[in-house]
Amino acid sequence: METQKVKTCFTITFTDDQFQKAKAYVEDMRKHPNRVYWRGKEGKSDTELIIEQIAHRILSGFYNDAPYHAGKHIMRMESGVTA
């Protein structure tokens, strides 16, 4: 199976509640340094980890309880075929 790469940049919005929940998640992950979660995250700041967690939840549908719900969080998206 052939795979392709696409580099995509999203501009998202999030609530303070979403930020606090993601912050708590990252703080909990700090207690478990051997989890798969940490692969590729070495050297990232807590703020970067928190924003990544929020983006992951928005894009994966974690916050989506209705069709197109993510659309209200995604303000803009730019994609390029060459990554």
37-48 tens-digit pLDDT: 888 888 999 999
pTM higher than 0.85:
no
The structural domain count of the chain equals 1
Containing structural domain, residue 44: 7-80
Between 17 and 71, whose confidence is greater? 17
The reply to whether 2 falls in a domain is: no
> For residue 12, is pLDDT > 60?
yes
Calpha distance 6→35 (Å, rounded): 27
Strand pairing partners for 77? 10
The reply to whether 1 falls in a domain is: no
How far is residue 16 from each of residues 19, 21, 42, 46, measured CA to CA in Å?
5, 9, 26, 16
Q: What is the pLDDT of residue 70?
A: 61
Q: What is the pLDDT of residue 51?
A: 93
- The token pair at 42 is 């070495």
Average pLDDT for residues 17-34, to the nearest whole number?
Answer: 93
